[in-house]
Structure formats: C-alpha cells, structure tokens
C-alpha cells in the first residue's frame, strides 16, 4: 500500500521526536549535603537579660526602738502617747507615780547629811589618838555609802518619766495607768524610727544578681495604692532552706504604708549578664526544655537544658551545652537526631584536638 505524501511528513516528525527523547540524559541524584535543610543557627553565650522582676514581702520598720521602764515596783499614773502618734526624741510617753520614791529620796538625803556630818567631825583627828583610826575610816565610809545611795535614788527619780529615745511613729503600746513597772520582755512602746517603713522582699537566689543598691522599684499595696521606693540593702546571705535572699526597699513616709502590711515590688530595669540563648531557640515538651544542637559535622542533636531567668527575649541556660555551642534559632522547626542541615549565622566551633599516644 502506498502512503500519501502528507503521511510521510507525520512519520518523519514522530521519528525525530523519538530520537530526541532517546538522547535525553536521566536526572542526576542529589547528594545528602544537597538535600540538607537550610537553617539559621545562634550560639549559647553571655547575654544580657533585661526585663521586669517581681518580688513580694512584708512591710517592716527600717529601724525599731523598744521603750521599757528603767525602774521597777512603781505604779503608772499617766500614759501620754498612743498608737499611731508621731513623737519626738525625749518626749515623755508615760509617767510613774513618784510618791514612794520621793519618800525614799528624802530619807536617803537625811541619812547622807547625817553621815557627812559624822565624817566632818573626825576630819582632822587622824593620828591624834582621840578616836581610833578604824572608827575614823568607818565614818568616812558610811558617808560615801550614803552619798552613793542618794545619787542612785535621785537617778531613779529622774527615770520616772519614760521618754522616747528616738523620733518616730508609735507602732505598739502596752502601758496602762495602774500598771506596776517591772522588767519584762514586752516593751511598753515600739517606735518606728522617723516613721520610716521598708518592704522586706524575698528574692530567689538566681535573681539577686539582677538587683543593685539604689535601684528603683514600684511597690504595689493591697489597697491598690502604688509607691516608688529604692533598694537600700541586699542581704549578703541566702536562707539555706528556702534559697531566698532579703532585699530591703525604702519607701516614702505615708499614712497608707503601715508596718505589718504586705507589698509586691516590681523592678522594671532589672538586668544581668548570664549564659543564655534566644527564647525562640528553646523548645518545651513533656520532658522539659531542649535545644537543637548543630555539631561540627552539621548534624542535629536534641539536648535537654535547665533554664533560669528570662527577659527581653533571652533565657538563661543554667545547665546544658557549654558557651559557644551552635543551636538552631527556631525551636519550632522539626528535626530528628542525626539530620543534616546547612547552617548559616554563627560559625562552627573547631573540634577539640585528641592527643595521640606515642
């Protein structure tokens, strides 16, 4: 059978197409390095943590004075100060009945005068034999004893007015008219010197390094009121049981800041240099925090870490890989141990040299 001329053209085109297809090379296989995913890496290293830090505690007097009677066995006649009052140093707070002590002072004064008179009579009789030297010495000794007794009673008489040793606000009053003054472990008055109240805040051991003396803090009170204070003291020791340290924050003298109350301090500019990593590089799951370490061979390994303080997008690495370790910047990326990656960012650390035994 003969083909039409147009059929010869179609056959020619098909033959050419098959010839070209037969000459095309098969696709090249990608190497493992070429298949590796591109990732951004960062290093674990010293970083500044900046951010707010909060701590709570009790409101306490900066300095407290305890006032107690210095004489015992006498009755209180008047109490001149009450809780909440501001008193001045030297101001009389309570008065003790002087009647009994006045009688004792009068008797002692008479005895002292008599003994002084007896001593004066033998003033110039030493060695004359008119009276024995022993009697002369005894009269002089009795006069000295009488004078000392009078001085002691006069001093006690002056102590009948119980006064404030410092200026400040009375926090507690335990004296009442009719009470008998006796030495006691409970003071009659407790005074907050100058009315100054501080916040005694408990701060975790790891966070103490983020606080400095003179640092400003915002203190929130239960009433909703806010006061601005400054750090006066950071405890040099940590409680071995709670692992907390005390920070004292001086507050302004205000009627709504009361000793015994509660406060919460916020340190907005708390900062510290720690071994850390970006917060985005930390992955959290049921087993805790982890980072994806990129080794010198660019292979990935999941490594657990213990985290500490955080702030400003930085997380402290308390326990984990050493400084300089490369980790994947995005903790949300899914990788398996042993996956090969193409890192960009932080350079790889040189491998440790192994000593060769000779």
pLDDT of the chain along its 358 residues, tens only? Answer: 454 555 545 455 455 555 555 555 555 565 666 678 899 999 999 987 777 788 999 999 999 999 999 888 899 999 999 999 999 999 999 999 998 888 888 998 898 898 888 888 777 666 565 677 787 788 888 888 988 998 888 888 888 999 999 999 999 999 999 999 887 778 999 999 999 999 999 998 888 888 899 999 999 999 999 999 999 999 999 999 999 999 999 999 998 999 999 999 998 877 777 888 999 999 988 888 999 999 999 999 999 999 887 777 888 898 999 999 999 999 877 888 899 998 887 776 554 443 333 3
If 0-12 CB within 10 Å is exposed, 13-18 middle and 19+ buried, where does residue 189 land? buried
| d(C-alpha 143, C-alpha 135), whole Å | 12
User: Exposure string (b/e) for 96-126, b if CB count within 10 Å is 16 or more?
Assistant: bbeeebeeebeebeebbeebbebbeebeeee
pTM comes to: 0.61
Number of H helices, E strands in the chain: 4, 23
With a CB cutoff of 8 Å and minimum separation 6, the contacts of 86 are 167, 168, 169, 170, 195
Residue 271: the pLDDT is 72
Which DSSP category does 263 fall into?
E
| d(C-alpha 193, C-alpha 46), whole Å | 44
| d(C-alpha 69, C-alpha 160), whole Å | 8
Rg for the chain (alpha carbons), in Å? Answer: 44
Of the candidates 190, 199, 215, the one whose C-alpha atom is nearest the C-alpha of residue 252 is 199
Angle CA(60)–CA(65)–CA(69) in degrees, nearest 5?
A: 140
Residue 68: the pLDDT is 92
Residue 164: the pLDDT is 96
Residue 348: the pLDDT is 65
Residue 31: the pLDDT is 66
Residue 33: the pLDDT is 64
How many other CB atoms are there within 10 angstroms of residue 29's CB atom? 7
Residue 121: the pLDDT is 75
Question: The dihedral of CA 253, 257, 258, 259: what is its sign?
Answer: negative
* CB-based contact 180:241 (threshold 8 Å): no
| d(C-alpha 82, C-alpha 119), whole Å | 50
Residue 30: the pLDDT is 59
């Amino acid at each position: 059978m003969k083909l039409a001329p147009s059929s010869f053209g179609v056959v020619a085109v098909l033959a050419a197409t098959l010839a070209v297809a037969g000459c095309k090379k098969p696709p090249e296989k990608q190497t493992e390095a070429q298949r590796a995913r591109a990732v951004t890496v960062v290093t674990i290293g010293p970083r500044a943590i900046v951010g707010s830090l909060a701590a709570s505690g009790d409101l306490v007097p900066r300095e407290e004075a305890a006032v107690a009677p210095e004489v015992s066995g006498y009755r209180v006649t008047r109490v001149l100060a009450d809780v909440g009052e501001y008193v001045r140093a030297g101001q009389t707070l309570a008065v003790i009945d002087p009647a009994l002590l006045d009688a004792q002072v009068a008797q002692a004064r008479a005895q002292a005068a008599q003994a002084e008179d007896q001593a004066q009579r033998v003033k110039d009789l030493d060695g004359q034999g008119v009276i024995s030297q022993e009697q002369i010495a005894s009269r002089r000794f009795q006069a000295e004893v009488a004078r000392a007794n009078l001085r002691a009673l006069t001093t006690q008489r002056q102590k009948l007015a119980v006064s404030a040793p410092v200026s400040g606000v009375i926090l507690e009053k335990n004296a009442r008219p009719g009470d008998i003054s006796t030495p006691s472990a409970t003071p009659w008055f407790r005074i907050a010197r100058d009315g100054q109240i501080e916040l005694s805040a408990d701060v975790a051991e790891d966070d103490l390094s983020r606080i400095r003396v003179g640092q400003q803090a915002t203190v929130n009170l239960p009433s909703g009121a806010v006061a601005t204070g400054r750090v006066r003291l950071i405890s040099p020791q940590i409680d071995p049981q709670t692992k907390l340290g005390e920070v004292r924050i001086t507050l302004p003298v205000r009627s709504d800041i009361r000793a015994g109350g509660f406060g919460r301090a916020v340190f907005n500019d708390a900062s510290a240099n720690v071994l850390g990593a970006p917060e985005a590089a930390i992955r959290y799951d049921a087993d805790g925090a982890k980072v994806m370490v990129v080794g010198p061979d660019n292979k990935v390994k999941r490594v657990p870490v213990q985290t500490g303080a955080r702030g400003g997008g930085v997380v402290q690495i308390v326990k984990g890989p050493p400084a300089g370790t490369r980790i994947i910047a995005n903790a949300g990326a899914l990788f398996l141990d042993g996956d090969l990656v193409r890192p960009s960012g932080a350079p790889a650390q040189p491998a440790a040299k192994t000593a060769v035994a000779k």
